[in-house]
Structure 1
Amino acid sequence: MTIEQSDGAHRLGPGDRFALIAGSGRLPLSVAEGLAKAGTPPFVLIVGGQGVDPEAYAAYEHQTRTLEEIGDLVAFLKSRGVTHVVMAGGIAGRPEIRKIKWRVGLLAFLPKLFFALMTGDNALLSTLVRHLEQRGLKVVGAHTILPDLLAQPGVMTRTKPKTSDQRDIAAAHEAALAIGRLDIGQAAIAIGGRAVALEGVEGTDGLLERTIGLRNNGRIAAKKRGVLVKCTKPGQELRADLPTIGPRTIEDAHKAGLSGVAVEAGRAFVLEFGKTIELADSLGLFIVGLKDKRP
């Protein structure tokens, strides 16, 4: 298996082995399937407390561990012969410091971990990636394993955005980048050419649910249209937490009265790609892959 990375292509050797750190959602299952199809079935480390059914990974060697068991993560993975790590899926919450099982090897990591826990998700994930790589594990982005699920440039659906939608796309994109710089969230919704709702700790599902409530309560004057935009945070660690949309996103966007969804081309996953595009067309929504606006 050859992995395309920013520092060039890397071919796995016979002694290399993947660990998949799996959170919630469909993405980690897709990653596991992609690795298995490539002839490198992973060892799956399921993050406990995320509502993940271990039976979903019955085809792979797997084990469940809580966030508080980070103390011996590197030693544990190496004891399983792991050389490469890929992280995928949602993680709700953060480890409780008082419950973390400390190990001597983690002491040097403590100051960085404490600082990261007090900041945003990107800071925490970037700190974890550096910790793993400094101890000899190669961290690989899920997008290098599942390139076929990445958003394509331009309009991906038969349904196309109107001129008013383009204004909403531009406004929501700027808003999403603004909250991304603060490491708050990855998504924003614009209606009538201005941002009306921003993603917080509740994630995109919560953002759309909140927008449905705002519309039902008359807090949003326009009864229809508007756009959800999801994009990577400026300076984001691209090997973890790429924006993701799927059938549920489209269903909730439709319930919220939106006209479409836009994500960054090549930097966002469209889960169950064909099904998601077909669903959007059936509901009259567009899906657009945007160019990166950052220098």
Structure 2
Amino acid sequence: MTLAETASHAPVALIAGNGRIPLQVATALAAAGRECKVVAIRGEADAATRSLASAELGWGEIGRLYAFLNKSGCRDVMLIGGVSKRPDFASILGDLGTLRRLPTIIRALTGGDDSLLTKVIGLFEVEGFRVVGIKDVAPGLLAASGVLGKTQPRDTDWQDIQLALTATRKLGELDIGQAAVAVGGRVVALEGAEGTDAMLERCADLRGSGRIRAKNKTGVLVKTAKPNQDLRVDLPTIGPRTIERADAAGLAGIAIEAGGALISDREETLAQADRAGLFVIGIDQAALSQGRAE
């Protein structure tokens, strides 16, 4: 058997950070009949994820992590969920397995987010594991193409989608963020290190102060993967809180990349968007560059 064939018959390990996505991936795998072993990142994974975990390890226990994966027969590994902060150098001095790999680990802690993630993937691959993504094991969690709720975007919304999409591409080229907001034909906010929620809060403040002058729901949040981003990790994600923040910012809707973005708590998220009168749409970037992708 090849490595891929062996991995597909073995349990998949979920290295789980914060948020609800790890739990939803584990649920999807169980429904598909695929065994998984959840490894909760100490200080990141929430209580629901920890309740499913076969192990809970800190940043400095990489040697123990590899030992657990080998003992459990896991060849596929998925890095899923958020990480609130990068580990500092003190936190990785945990066990002999970590110390032996210290030069490689330190190199992985430098550079931009994409550089970091690429190096983290390399840390697993050099040990003989295969890093997989949502598309490989739970594709049903990815956003489909087209309008996903009851509210339809207007012609003016499509203009803002195009503009914000252009902005996200530029952001991605610089490895800065995955999201932008355009209102009334101009970009008003770009995502930085603070994340999407904080960016939307800034938009709400701008509208409240009159810097964004729009009486009705106007403007669009666009979230896409960065150009050449490895789609096995760090996919753009929206959820109920995104809807809440977008509504508070007075936006008309949200556009995310079809097949390249996640919707956390899909039913709840779309129902909340319907109640708020916000559209949620999955866009095909290639199709959109040639015209409206409905």
TM-score > 0.5, shorter chain as reference? yes
Does 2:12 align with 1:18? Answer: yes
Q: Distance in 2 between matches of 1:190 and 1:71?
A: 46
2:41 is aligned to 47
Q: Does 1:68 align with 2:60?
A: yes
Match of 2:276 among 272, 283, 289: 283
Task: Tell me how far 1:80 sits from its aligned partner.
Answer: 2.9
TM-score by length of 1: 0.87
Q: Is the contact made by 1:67 and 1:94 (CA closer than 8 Å) also made in structure 2?
A: no
Aligned to 2:292: none
1:84 aligned to which of 63, 73, 76: 76
Normalised TM-score (structure 2): 0.87
Cα distance, 1:115 vs structure 2: 4.0
Q: Size of the alignment, in residue pairs?
A: 285
CA distance in 2, matches of 1:190, 1:179: 14
For structure 2, the 5+ residue unaligned runs are 290-294
4+ residue runs of structure 1 moved beyond 4 angstroms? 8-11, 102-112
Between 73-82 and 90-99, report the one with greater CA deviation: 73-82
Residue 237 (structure 2) pairs with residue 254 (structure 1): no
8 Å CA contact retained: 1:71, 1:100: no
Runs of 5+ unmatched residues, structure 1: 1-7
Secondary structure of the residue that 2:60 maps to in structure 1? helix
Q: Residue in 2 aligned with 1:163?
A: 155
Superposed, 1:228-267 pairs within 5 Å as: 228-267=221-260
Please name the residue that 1:184 is paired with.
Answer: 176
Aligned Cα root-mean-square deviation (Å): 2.5
2:62/2:97 contact within 8 Å kept:
no
State which of 124, 147, 155 in structure 2 corresponds to 1:132.
Answer: 124
1:179-218 correspondence to structure 2 within 5 Å: 179-218=171-210
Indicate the SS of the match to 1:287: strand
Q: Deviations over 1:12-52 (max 9, x none)?
A: 22xx1221111111110011111222233322111122261
Distance 1:273 1:131, change over 3 A: same
Residue 162 of structure 1 aligns to which amino acid in structure 2? R
Distance of aligned partners of 1:211 and 1:67 in 2 relative to their CA distance in 1, 3 Å threshold: farther
Identity over aligned pairs, percent: 45
Report how far residue 169 of structure 1 moved. Answer: 0.6
One-letter amino acid of the structure 1 residue matched with residue 44 of structure 2: Q
